[in-house]
Amino acid sequence: MRVRAHAKLNLSLDVLGRTADGYHDLRMVMQTVEFGDDLDVELRPDGQFTIDPGQGYLPADGRNLAVKAAKLFLDGTGLGADIRVAKRIPVCAGMGGGSADAAAVLLALNDLTGRDLDGQALCALGLQVGSDVPFCVLGGTALAEGRGEKLTPLSPLPDCAVVICKPAFAISTPELFGRVDGRRSRLRPDTAGILAALDAGDLPGVARRMFNVFEDVLGRRQGEIASIKSALTGMGALGAAMTGSGSAVFGLFDDPAAAAEAHQALAARYRECCLTRPWQPSGT
Protein backbone atom coordinates (compact mmCIF):
# COMPACT_ATOMS: atom_id res chain seq x y z
CA MET A 1 0.00 0.00 0.00
CA ARG A 2 1.19 3.51 -0.79
CA VAL A 3 0.24 6.15 1.77
CA ARG A 4 1.00 9.85 2.20
CA ALA A 5 2.67 11.05 5.41
CA HIS A 6 1.40 14.62 5.72
CA ALA A 7 3.72 17.25 7.19
CA LYS A 8 2.43 19.24 10.16
CA LEU A 9 2.64 22.93 10.99
CA ASN A 10 2.18 24.75 14.29
CA LEU A 11 -0.20 27.67 13.82
CA SER A 12 0.68 28.43 17.42
CA LEU A 13 2.96 26.93 20.06
CA ASP A 14 2.93 27.80 23.75
CA VAL A 15 4.92 26.26 26.61
CA LEU A 16 2.86 26.51 29.81
CA GLY A 17 5.40 24.97 32.17
CA ARG A 18 6.54 21.54 33.32
CA THR A 19 4.37 18.64 34.42
CA ALA A 20 4.99 16.51 37.50
CA ASP A 21 6.66 13.80 35.38
CA GLY A 22 9.18 16.24 33.94
CA TYR A 23 7.63 16.77 30.50
CA HIS A 24 6.78 20.23 29.18
CA ASP A 25 3.11 21.19 29.23
CA LEU A 26 2.30 22.42 25.72
CA ARG A 27 -0.66 24.14 24.07
CA MET A 28 -0.53 24.17 20.29
CA VAL A 29 -2.83 24.70 17.32
CA MET A 30 -1.68 22.21 14.69
CA GLN A 31 -2.42 21.74 11.01
CA THR A 32 -1.53 19.12 8.43
CA VAL A 33 -0.73 20.11 4.84
CA GLU A 34 -0.88 18.26 1.51
CA PHE A 35 2.93 18.22 1.23
CA GLY A 36 4.60 15.17 2.71
CA ASP A 37 6.48 11.92 2.28
CA ASP A 38 5.12 8.93 0.35
CA LEU A 39 5.56 5.48 1.90
CA ASP A 40 5.18 2.04 0.37
CA VAL A 41 4.31 -0.48 3.09
CA GLU A 42 4.22 -4.23 2.39
CA LEU A 43 3.54 -7.06 4.82
CA ARG A 44 5.97 -9.96 4.96
CA PRO A 45 5.26 -13.36 6.57
CA ASP A 46 8.69 -13.96 8.17
CA GLY A 47 8.47 -11.35 10.93
CA GLN A 48 11.39 -9.29 9.57
CA PHE A 49 11.41 -5.51 9.21
CA THR A 50 13.28 -3.48 6.61
CA ILE A 51 13.20 0.19 5.69
CA ASP A 52 14.63 2.29 2.90
CA PRO A 53 14.45 5.70 4.62
CA GLY A 54 14.90 7.68 1.41
CA GLN A 55 17.98 9.55 2.64
CA GLY A 56 21.33 7.96 3.47
CA TYR A 57 21.78 9.91 6.69
CA LEU A 58 18.52 8.63 8.22
CA PRO A 59 18.50 5.45 10.35
CA ALA A 60 17.61 2.30 8.41
CA ASP A 61 16.98 0.12 11.46
CA GLY A 62 14.86 -0.01 14.61
CA ARG A 63 15.77 3.57 15.52
CA ASN A 64 13.60 4.81 12.66
CA LEU A 65 10.18 5.85 13.98
CA ALA A 66 8.43 4.16 11.05
CA VAL A 67 10.04 0.84 11.99
CA LYS A 68 9.18 1.36 15.66
CA ALA A 69 5.55 1.93 14.69
CA ALA A 70 5.46 -1.17 12.48
CA LYS A 71 6.98 -3.39 15.18
CA LEU A 72 4.53 -2.06 17.76
CA PHE A 73 1.49 -2.58 15.53
CA LEU A 74 2.52 -6.09 14.42
CA ASP A 75 3.74 -7.28 17.82
CA GLY A 76 2.56 -10.83 18.46
CA THR A 77 1.29 -11.43 14.91
CA GLY A 78 4.42 -13.07 13.50
CA LEU A 79 4.27 -10.63 10.58
CA GLY A 80 6.92 -8.14 9.48
CA ALA A 81 6.99 -5.28 7.01
CA ASP A 82 9.04 -3.73 4.23
CA ILE A 83 8.87 0.08 4.21
CA ARG A 84 10.15 2.39 1.48
CA VAL A 85 10.08 6.15 1.98
CA ALA A 86 10.08 8.81 -0.73
CA LYS A 87 11.45 11.47 1.61
CA ARG A 88 10.37 15.07 1.02
CA ILE A 89 9.71 16.52 4.48
CA PRO A 90 12.91 18.27 5.59
CA VAL A 91 14.72 16.80 8.57
CA CYS A 92 15.07 18.92 11.75
CA ALA A 93 12.48 21.35 10.43
CA GLY A 94 9.70 21.22 13.05
CA MET A 95 7.38 19.67 10.46
CA GLY A 96 7.02 16.27 12.15
CA GLY A 97 8.61 14.21 9.38
CA GLY A 98 9.49 11.16 11.48
CA SER A 99 6.19 11.29 13.34
CA ALA A 100 4.25 11.62 10.09
CA ASP A 101 6.02 8.56 8.67
CA ALA A 102 5.22 6.56 11.81
CA ALA A 103 1.57 7.60 11.65
CA ALA A 104 1.36 6.67 7.96
CA VAL A 105 2.75 3.20 8.74
CA LEU A 106 0.14 2.66 11.47
CA LEU A 107 -2.66 3.68 9.11
CA ALA A 108 -1.35 1.49 6.29
CA LEU A 109 -0.90 -1.57 8.50
CA ASN A 110 -4.37 -1.08 9.95
CA ASP A 111 -5.78 -1.45 6.43
CA LEU A 112 -3.40 -4.18 5.26
CA THR A 113 -4.09 -6.43 8.24
CA GLY A 114 -7.82 -5.72 8.39
CA ARG A 115 -7.64 -5.01 12.13
CA ASP A 116 -9.79 -1.90 11.69
CA LEU A 117 -8.59 -0.16 14.86
CA ASP A 118 -10.31 3.16 15.48
CA GLY A 119 -8.53 6.49 15.67
CA GLN A 120 -8.30 6.42 19.45
CA ALA A 121 -6.57 3.03 19.45
CA LEU A 122 -4.15 4.08 16.72
CA CYS A 123 -3.35 7.30 18.62
CA ALA A 124 -2.63 5.26 21.76
CA LEU A 125 -0.15 3.14 19.79
CA GLY A 126 1.33 6.24 18.20
CA LEU A 127 1.96 7.89 21.55
CA GLN A 128 4.28 5.01 22.42
CA VAL A 129 6.37 6.01 19.39
CA GLY A 130 6.41 9.81 19.81
CA SER A 131 4.38 12.74 21.15
CA ASP A 132 3.48 14.13 17.70
CA VAL A 133 2.38 10.78 16.25
CA PRO A 134 -1.22 10.88 17.58
CA PHE A 135 -1.86 14.20 15.84
CA CYS A 136 -0.30 12.90 12.63
CA VAL A 137 -2.62 9.87 12.82
CA LEU A 138 -5.72 12.09 13.02
CA GLY A 139 -4.54 14.97 10.80
CA GLY A 140 -6.51 18.10 9.98
CA THR A 141 -6.75 20.98 12.44
CA ALA A 142 -6.52 20.34 16.18
CA LEU A 143 -5.67 21.81 19.55
CA ALA A 144 -2.88 19.71 21.08
CA GLU A 145 -2.21 19.89 24.82
CA GLY A 146 -0.09 18.10 27.40
CA ARG A 147 2.87 16.53 25.60
CA GLY A 148 0.83 16.95 22.43
CA GLU A 149 -1.24 13.82 22.96
CA LYS A 150 -4.43 15.52 24.23
CA LEU A 151 -6.17 16.37 20.98
CA THR A 152 -9.32 18.39 20.34
CA PRO A 153 -10.47 18.60 16.70
CA LEU A 154 -11.06 22.17 15.54
CA SER A 155 -12.89 23.88 12.72
CA PRO A 156 -10.76 23.47 9.58
CA LEU A 157 -8.29 26.12 8.57
CA PRO A 158 -9.85 27.89 5.57
CA ASP A 159 -8.36 26.85 2.27
CA CYS A 160 -5.29 28.89 1.38
CA ALA A 161 -1.85 28.64 -0.16
CA VAL A 162 1.04 27.82 2.18
CA VAL A 163 4.68 28.56 1.45
CA ILE A 164 7.16 26.69 3.66
CA CYS A 165 10.86 27.52 3.72
CA LYS A 166 13.61 25.82 5.74
CA PRO A 167 16.97 27.58 6.15
CA ALA A 168 20.12 25.47 5.97
CA PHE A 169 20.50 24.91 9.71
CA ALA A 170 18.86 22.92 12.47
CA ILE A 171 17.91 24.19 15.92
CA SER A 172 18.43 22.19 19.10
CA THR A 173 15.03 21.40 20.65
CA PRO A 174 16.42 20.73 24.18
CA GLU A 175 18.33 24.01 24.01
CA LEU A 176 15.18 25.94 23.08
CA PHE A 177 13.18 24.35 25.90
CA GLY A 178 15.98 25.29 28.30
CA ARG A 179 15.86 28.90 27.16
CA VAL A 180 12.07 29.03 27.48
CA ASP A 181 12.31 27.55 30.99
CA GLY A 182 14.79 30.25 32.02
CA ARG A 183 12.85 33.18 30.61
CA ARG A 184 11.08 35.51 33.01
CA SER A 185 8.85 37.52 30.68
CA ARG A 186 7.13 35.71 27.86
CA LEU A 187 5.23 36.67 24.74
CA ARG A 188 2.33 34.26 24.36
CA PRO A 189 0.21 33.29 21.37
CA ASP A 190 -3.43 34.33 21.37
CA THR A 191 -4.67 30.74 21.29
CA ALA A 192 -8.25 31.67 22.19
CA GLY A 193 -8.25 34.21 19.36
CA ILE A 194 -7.03 31.60 16.88
CA LEU A 195 -9.76 29.17 17.96
CA ALA A 196 -12.40 31.86 17.54
CA ALA A 197 -11.04 32.82 14.11
CA LEU A 198 -11.10 29.16 13.02
CA ASP A 199 -14.72 28.85 14.16
CA ALA A 200 -15.55 31.97 12.14
CA GLY A 201 -13.67 30.77 9.04
CA ASP A 202 -11.54 33.91 9.34
CA LEU A 203 -8.22 33.18 7.61
CA PRO A 204 -6.71 36.66 8.19
CA GLY A 205 -7.72 36.41 11.85
CA VAL A 206 -5.86 33.13 12.20
CA ALA A 207 -2.82 34.34 10.28
CA ARG A 208 -2.26 37.55 12.22
CA ARG A 209 -2.42 35.68 15.55
CA MET A 210 0.09 32.94 14.68
CA PHE A 211 3.01 32.84 17.10
CA ASN A 212 5.55 30.34 18.38
CA VAL A 213 7.16 31.03 21.78
CA PHE A 214 10.41 29.44 20.57
CA GLU A 215 10.87 32.36 18.14
CA ASP A 216 11.56 34.57 21.14
CA VAL A 217 14.58 32.52 22.31
CA LEU A 218 16.38 31.64 19.08
CA GLY A 219 19.63 33.41 19.83
CA ARG A 220 21.93 33.89 16.86
CA ARG A 221 19.47 32.18 14.48
CA GLN A 222 16.73 34.68 15.25
CA GLY A 223 17.78 37.08 12.51
CA GLU A 224 17.42 34.64 9.64
CA ILE A 225 14.09 33.29 10.89
CA ALA A 226 12.84 36.88 11.15
CA SER A 227 14.19 37.60 7.67
CA ILE A 228 12.23 34.73 6.11
CA LYS A 229 9.06 35.78 7.96
CA SER A 230 9.53 39.35 6.73
CA ALA A 231 10.09 38.15 3.16
CA LEU A 232 6.89 36.09 3.26
CA THR A 233 4.72 38.90 4.64
CA GLY A 234 6.38 41.38 2.29
CA MET A 235 5.32 39.21 -0.65
CA GLY A 236 1.71 38.95 0.45
CA ALA A 237 1.45 36.40 3.28
CA LEU A 238 -1.32 37.23 5.75
CA GLY A 239 0.97 36.00 8.53
CA ALA A 240 4.07 33.89 9.05
CA ALA A 241 5.56 31.82 11.86
CA MET A 242 8.19 29.22 12.65
CA THR A 243 6.82 25.71 13.09
CA GLY A 244 7.69 23.44 16.02
CA SER A 245 11.23 23.92 17.25
CA GLY A 246 12.24 25.03 13.77
CA SER A 247 13.89 25.80 11.63
CA ALA A 248 11.16 25.82 8.94
CA VAL A 249 9.07 28.98 8.54
CA PHE A 250 5.71 29.17 6.77
CA GLY A 251 3.33 31.82 5.53
CA LEU A 252 -0.40 31.69 4.76
CA PHE A 253 -1.63 33.36 1.54
CA ASP A 254 -5.14 34.09 0.31
CA ASP A 255 -3.73 34.92 -3.16
CA PRO A 256 -2.40 31.84 -5.00
CA ALA A 257 -0.48 33.95 -7.50
CA ALA A 258 1.32 35.85 -4.73
CA ALA A 259 2.12 32.55 -3.02
CA ALA A 260 3.58 31.14 -6.24
CA GLU A 261 5.78 34.23 -6.66
CA ALA A 262 6.92 34.05 -3.04
CA HIS A 263 7.76 30.37 -3.42
CA GLN A 264 9.75 31.04 -6.57
CA ALA A 265 11.69 33.88 -4.92
CA LEU A 266 12.51 31.94 -1.76
CA ALA A 267 13.35 28.73 -3.65
CA ALA A 268 16.08 30.66 -5.42
CA ARG A 269 17.70 31.32 -2.02
CA TYR A 270 16.79 28.21 -0.03
CA ARG A 271 17.00 24.62 -1.27
CA GLU A 272 14.18 23.30 0.92
CA CYS A 273 11.13 25.32 0.00
CA CYS A 274 7.65 24.17 -1.01
CA LEU A 275 4.22 25.46 -2.01
CA THR A 276 1.27 23.53 -0.60
CA ARG A 277 -2.22 23.81 0.92
CA PRO A 278 -3.91 22.74 4.18
CA TRP A 279 -5.07 19.12 4.26
CA GLN A 280 -8.04 17.67 6.04
CA PRO A 281 -8.84 13.92 6.32
CA SER A 282 -11.88 12.78 4.38
CA GLY A 283 -15.13 13.28 6.22
CA THR A 284 -14.04 16.46 8.02
Catalytic residue among 8, 87, 166, 229: 8
Catalytic residue among 14, 68, 132, 229: 132
Q: Give yes or no for a contact between 14 and 188, defined as CB atoms under 8 angstroms apart.
A: yes
Average pLDDT over residues 41-69: 95
Is-cis flag, bond preceding 282, omega within 30? no
104 and 206 both lie in a single domain: no
95 and 178 both lie in a single domain: no
104 and 189 both lie in a single domain: no
196 and 104 both lie in a single domain: no
Identity at 253, one-letter amino acid code: F
pLDDT at 266: 98
Please, is 160 exposed, middle or buried when counting C-beta atoms within 10 Å of its C-beta (0-12, 13-18, 19+)?
A: buried
129 and 196 both lie in a single domain: no
Average pLDDT over residues 47-60: 92
Examine residue 83 and state whether it is found in any structural domain, yes or no: yes
Query: Which residue among 106, 127, 153 closes a domain?
Result: 153
Examine residue 281 and state whether it is found in any structural domain, yes or no: no
pLDDT at 244: 93
**CATH number of the domain that residue 172 is part of:** 3.30.70.890
141 and 65 both lie in a single domain: yes
Examine residue 284 and state whether it is found in any structural domain, yes or no: no
SS3 content of the chain, % helix, strand, coil (to 5): 35, 30, 35
The question of whether 71 is a catalytic residue gets the answer: no
pLDDT at 56: 82
The model's pLDDT over 233-271, given as tens digits with 9 standing for 90+, comes to 999 999 999 999 889 999 999 999 999 999 999 999 999
Long-range contacts of 215-220 (CB under 8 A, 24+ apart): 215/241, 215/242, 216/183, 216/186, 216/187, 217/176, 217/179, 217/180, 217/183, 218/171, 218/176, 218/246, 219/179
CA distances from 135 to 120, 142, 218 (A): 11, 8, 25
The question of whether 132 is a catalytic residue gets the answer: yes
Res 185 pLDDT > 60 = no
Q: Which of 35, 41, 14 is nearest to 188 (CA)?
A: 14
pLDDT at 184: 61
pLDDT at 188: 86
Q: Which domain holds residue 137?
A: 2-153
Examine residue 141 and state whether it is found in any structural domain, yes or no: yes
Lowest mean pLDDT across 34-48, 52-66, 175-189 = 175-189
The percent of residues in the chain predicted with pLDDT above 90, rounded, is 81
108 and 196 both lie in a single domain: no
Q: Which string of b and e fits 16-26 if b means at least 16 CB within 10 Å?
A: eeeeeeeebeb
Helix (H, G, I), strand (E, B) or coil at 81: strand
Q: Are strands 2-18 and 211-212 parallel, antiparallel or unpaired?
A: parallel
Query: Which residue among 153, 176, 209 closes a domain?
Result: 153
pLDDT at 182: 63
Res. 17 pLDDT band, cuts 50 70 90: confident
Q: Give yes or no for a contact between 169 and 92, defined as CB atoms under 8 angstroms apart.
A: no
Domain count within the chain: 2
